Structure 1
Amino acid sequence: MMQIFNPFLPLHDYIADGEPHVFEDRLYIFGSHDQEGGKDFCLLDYVAYSAPTNDLSDWRYEGIIYTKRNDPDATSKRNNLYAPDVVKGNDGKYYLYYCLEGFEGPISVAVCDTPAGRYKYYGYVRNPDGSKYTRKIPFDPAVINDEGTIRLYYGWSLSSTKPKNAFQEYALQKTAEILFKKSKEEIKTEPGGIMGAYTVVLADDMLTVTTTPIEIIPNNIKSQGTGFEGHAFYEGSSIRKIKDTYYFIYSSIRNHELCYATSKHPDKDFVYRGTIISNGDVGFHGRSEKERLNLTATNHGSIECVNGQWYVFYHRNTHGGRCSRQACAEPIEIAEDGSIRQVEVTSCGLNGKPLISEGIFPAIIACNLTNGKMPHLMINRTVKRIPQISHTGEERYIANIKNGTMIGYKFFNLKQKGTVSISVRGNARGVMKISKEMDNQTIAQMEVTPSSQFKWITAHYNTTPGKSALYFQFCGKGKLSMLNVELQ
């Protein structure tokens, strides 16, 4: 088998909001499709990738599976395809659930005879009278075939706290009307409001809603006293059933983390269990928001079991913004009590073991990239001053490396003695220090001098062999970019 690293798909492709599913003997990834360096979410058509379950290094591009032109509701102003999910129906066909951009719905459905063929528009989730189902906020659909019962989960919420006075109540109401394109009456007449995570049951036609929406976990306004405080529902619904327990995976109000709640029932009694992963490693070993190890923004994904091993699939944020996201994955363990301990982001991901310290690696497989004050982005903007994954043409590299920038790779199986080389360019002058822990003893360092073209610089190291992180910290003036890392 080949080695594989994060991001695990081709580096030019930006698949976000990934839903992993095993169908027969292959693992499929379905997600939204960002443009490299894009300024808005989900600008491209849906594509799919798959890998044999016995070799997660062998990913195959399945091609475009659905285009925005296929949806009759798409317009020139509203056609981006947001986060999808796929489920196998009782008829053996595969159904893709998705929403166009925005919050007004409906949830649309496409169908195909195979998991990654060309899906055809099938219809929209509807009320029994055939009208479009738009109750609550039809957003981020997730679907499960629960022993023949088709369950749909969906929803969205502002991260607002409970209004403290009439003015705040009015402001929240007007914001909801504008954002969700609903009237005051539509919002007021919905029991429990419209924001939150909800579930309904679908008929055998995979379209018709047969139950009233039930809220399964609270939004931030309702979270006090529920156990979800600080990790209330924001978006990114995903559902799994493991033995007799339902796992609801979601993006919390913190935005950068995937959390989970469990219940013995599909539509009630969900209990907050914890964070599975943060794309800035916030919360891992007590790390604070201010200590995040990457630019953070949205996160959305789920978990899947492949050949007896569970993994969490998530995305990272690149290009100094929120709208150019890449699929990553990490192994996780589900304990006997059903709990999942938070895992850290790594460079080796699906590899299942440290990377061999031999060969050339793209610099952008770094799992930590920080200047010590990386931001969290809640709006669509680009922060140019920070270190970031970037590209020019077919070159993809780490840009804006300045004094104090730390670039981390986890993990390599280091030799006792070896050489480390990096390919860099820029007007920087100083040294690149190499260590096995952040802010720890340097095992090697190399001189950095200005260059308008990428050039190799090399250092020798002598250290205790075995599994280790590898950190590069630049100390000096100016800025540089890094294209590759070579270990020998």
Structure 2
Amino acid sequence: MKSYFTALICLILFSACDKGRENSNGNQAILNIQTSELSEQAKNLNTIIPGWFADPTIKKFDGIYYIYATTDNEMLASGAPTVWYSTDFENWYNYTMEIPSLDAVNLRNYWAPDILKGDDGKYYLYFGNCQMGCNIYGYVSDTPVGPWKKLQKDDTPVISHGFPREGFPSLDAQFFKDDDGKIFAYWGTWVHYNGGYAVGELNNKTMNSITKAENIPPAQTPQPFEAPYMLKKGEKYVLMYSGGSCHDETYNVRYSYANSPWGPFTPGANNPVLSTTEDERVHGPGHHSVLQEGNDYYIVYHKHDYPMTRGGLARQICVDELNFKNDSTLLAVKPGSTSLSKLNTSSLPEDVAYNALAKATSSYHLDIPDLNYTYSPDKAVDHNNATMWKAASNVLPQSLNFDLGAVYPVKRIATSFEFASYYYQYQIEYSVDGENWNLFADRSDNRTPGSPMLDDGDVEARYLKLTILATEKTGLFAAVWNFKVYSALFEIPLPQLMNKASVNPPASQALREQLIDLDAEGLNAGDTFASVENKGTYGGKFNKEGQVSITEEDGAKVFQFTNGALILNKPVPESLAWNGAFTVSAWVKNPEVAQDGECLASWCDRYKFGLANSYNAFFYNSAHYGAAGHLDSHFDMPYKQLPEADKWHHLVLTFDGVTERVYVDGKLDNAQIMTLASQIENAKLIVGSSDAGEGYSGYLASLKFYDRGMEREEIQTLHRESSPFR
């Protein structure tokens, strides 16, 4: 597995980040914040977007604000290319843009976008992509939202990998137009490994090539990592950038200044100017852009989510004031302590659901070491883009009920679901007395994504009920950032923008059964065999490949894996795709626990996307992916205490759609918050190896696989009742 990580450039993108802060057991530290504290702290954050987005570029064209950003929290931040837009800086709308794919590969990476308006009145969009080397590609449109056309039909990048020096990854490009009309590009990531940032001049006629590119020596931008951003203050050129590691609390914003856009640059006097706050309510802020409104400046950046998802890849966009001491000196940003009243000009009618009494069929409660937090229903009506309600499991349907406190006219309801670029199917009902219900909106057949989803009607109601019936992606939860209710209609910016309906059917629901039940019962030690029956509800049989034998060990009939695997002759169940919940239970005895390999079970196609979180496998080794492998050390989960070699152990890896846990002999060993995008297309369910041949070399008495998560008590019962040595 280690060699695979080294070979894959997309994974290097985030593996190259400095190792995140670890506790003494080797697992990323988790904030020790209780529920009430967390909610109170989050209220003070200027989180302006309800969703998972990062690397924001903010622009204002013709009176409309636009935020172009990386779509986060899936497949190494490789979600759909969307844009957020607003006229009042408070109410934002999401639109999925039409961007042609590269000819050689289907476009997935849409990383750190930036946009320019050319002298010809057209709009030029640039973003990074690592599918054919880490390059910056360019697109052009007559509008800020597309549809987009390639700047070069043959997929020639605007800034190619290895430019201006060999091996240099060209990502995170930001463009700056000087007073004389010249346009400069600044780019670079992992620059602490790659000799500093790069600067070049964009051809402002063709907008598709860079000339005069050169390096900015690292000494001019101390402690750099990625995300350069240039602005001009008076006669000074201020080059801002992100340092530390994007995965943890060390991520920050720094700056240097110069008398020329080329440098040389002098480090700022008080770096960093934006960093993790002492109470950690703003965690890992960075990769920013700047909005100038008259003489006022605002920094728009991303931070890690609360509570923090493993690896720091569930990020949210915030904005705060940016102040100068003089033209070459920035003052420290104080997250959440400054007012955005000059920007917020909303004239929308009152949201009558604000702080309404909210109840739900269920709510997810995080209860893992040092973390106690509930995604409670009141978070859907708190006007806080940093918090959400989430159901207790991904079992659907799930409902939210609201008591507005009095009867109001209801003419529009705006619902922001967790993932803006995937559709949700739902219904909204209303009632005056809480007993007799009528339908306000029927989206039970909806296949159009969007945020917020707007539903109009003309009724009177005190009580409202939102019921989420299905999701586009397997394993997504019923989860809502905001539920807003208005007694009057209002104008929507860019009403002509309509997201396209998805061609994907609703995700399959889990059977919540024991799909796989594999053991050596019925076989005799020394028998030769070609296959073995799956006794679980999914049926089929496991075909033997390579060296797998039946033997007796410590009085039990077991499989002995030497250099082989057992492969199910049926497709991987659809309920295990994407963020599907699962539990894998195995009784194993490993004579020697290796550093690499030792895969107990695999059910994903790592080559389908080759992006972190798209792969899922269960291991028993001493590496960073010793328990759960997700293709990147920042997202994998090791054993805190490695199970002792040459002894029988009951190992369980379970994932409920939010929390991933590993149990050893009935006791919790490690846990982390995760979001997965498991790729099962063309994958095989393999026992004793992975699709890359990372063979297990030991004994296996049984393996059980469920398409649901399990709680501690159930796992302890399974530990007792499944033992082959009772």
Q: TM-score, normalised by structure 1?
A: 0.55
**Amino acid in the other structure paired with 2:118:** G
Counterpart of 2:83?
48
- Alignment partner of 1:346 out of 336, 353, 358: 336
Checking the alignment, whether the CA contact within 8 Å between 1:276 and 1:343 is kept in structure 2 is no
1:100 aligns with 2:129: yes
Counterpart of 1:141?
173
Checking the alignment, whether the CA contact within 8 Å between 2:68 and 2:84 is kept in structure 1 is yes
The structural deviation recorded for 1:148 is: 2.4
Q: 1:138-195 CA deviation, whole Å, 9 max, x = no partner? A: 01111123232222111122546xxxxxxxxxxxxxxxxxxxxxxxxxxxxxxxxx43
Checking the alignment, whether the CA contact within 8 Å between 2:243 and 2:254 is kept in structure 1 is yes
Counterpart of 2:105?
74
Cα 1:126–1:328 change in 2 (3 A) is: closer
CA distance in 2, matches of 1:109, 1:390: 43
Q: SS state of the match for residue 340, structure 2?
A: helix
Counterpart of 1:63?
95
CA distance in 2, matches of 1:150, 1:390: 48
1:208 aligns with 2:209: yes
> Superposed, which structure 2 residues align to 1:316-465 within 5 Å?
316-318=303-305, 319-321=307-309, 322-346=312-336, 350-351=340-341, 385=369, 387=371, 396-397=387-388
CA distance in 2, matches of 1:344, 1:251: 17
RMSD value, Cα: 3.8
CA distance in 2, matches of 1:92, 1:390: 49
CA distance in 2, matches of 1:150, 1:209: 10
The structural deviation recorded for 1:390 is: 7.9
Counterpart of 2:265?
270
Q: SS state of the match for residue 111, structure 1?
A: strand
The structural deviation recorded for 1:331 is: 1.0
Cα 1:112–1:278 change in 2 (3 A) is: same
- Alignment partner of 2:48 out of 1, 5, 9: 9
**Amino acid in the other structure paired with 1:238:** Y
How many equivalent residue pairs? 310
CA distance in 2, matches of 1:86, 1:197: 20
CA distance in 1, matches of 2:318, 2:288: 9
Cα 1:158–1:107 change in 2 (3 A) is: closer
Q: 1:370-408 CA deviation, whole Å, 9 max, x = no partner? A: xxxxxxxxxxxx996454888599964499xxxxxxxxx
Counterpart of 1:115?
144
Checking the alignment, whether the CA contact within 8 Å between 1:48 and 1:116 is kept in structure 2 is yes
Percent identity, aligned pairs only, is 20
Counterpart of 1:473?
none
**Amino acid in the other structure paired with 2:201:** V
The structural deviation recorded for 1:112 is: 1.3
Counterpart of 2:276?
280
CA distance in 2, matches of 1:72, 1:338: 45
- Alignment partner of 1:21 out of 59, 81, 84: 59
Computing the radius of gyration from Cα coordinates, the structure with the larger value is 2
CA distance in 1, matches of 2:202, 2:156: 8
Please list every run of 5 or more consecutive structure 2 residues that lacks an aligned counterpart in the other structure: 1-42, 345-351, 357-365, 381-386, 391-726
Could you tell which deviates more after superposition, 198-207 or 111-120? 111-120
Cα 1:268–1:62 change in 2 (3 A) is: same
CA distance in 2, matches of 1:131, 1:258: 26
CA distance in 1, matches of 2:198, 2:256: 13
Q: SS state of the match for residue 314, structure 1?
A: strand
The structural deviation recorded for 1:47 is: 1.6
**Amino acid in the other structure paired with 1:31:** A
CA distance in 2, matches of 1:71, 1:383: 44
The structural deviation recorded for 1:22 is: 2.5
The structural deviation recorded for 1:210 is: 2.2
Q: SS state of the match for residue 278, structure 1?
A: coil
Checking the alignment, whether the CA contact within 8 Å between 2:173 and 2:187 is kept in structure 1 is yes
CA distance in 2, matches of 1:5, 1:296: 14
**Amino acid in the other structure paired with 1:311:** Y
Counterpart of 2:296?
309
Q: 1:438-475 CA deviation, whole Å, 9 max, x = no partner? A: xxxxxxxxxxxxxxxxxxxxxxxxxxxxxxxxxxxxxx
The structural deviation recorded for 1:352 is: 5.7
Q: SS state of the match for residue 286, structure 2?
A: coil
Cα 1:153–1:337 change in 2 (3 A) is: closer
> Which of the two has greater strand per residue?
1
CA distance in 1, matches of 2:171, 2:388: 34
- Alignment partner of 1:261 out of 256, 259, 271: 256
Please list every run of 5 or more consecutive structure 1 residues that lacks an aligned counterpart in the other structure: 161-193, 282-290, 363-381, 400-488
The structural deviation recorded for 1:132 is: 7.5
The structural deviation recorded for 1:248 is: 1.4
The structural deviation recorded for 1:15 is: 2.1
Checking the alignment, whether the CA contact within 8 Å between 1:43 and 1:80 is kept in structure 2 is yes
The structural deviation recorded for 1:361 is: 6.2
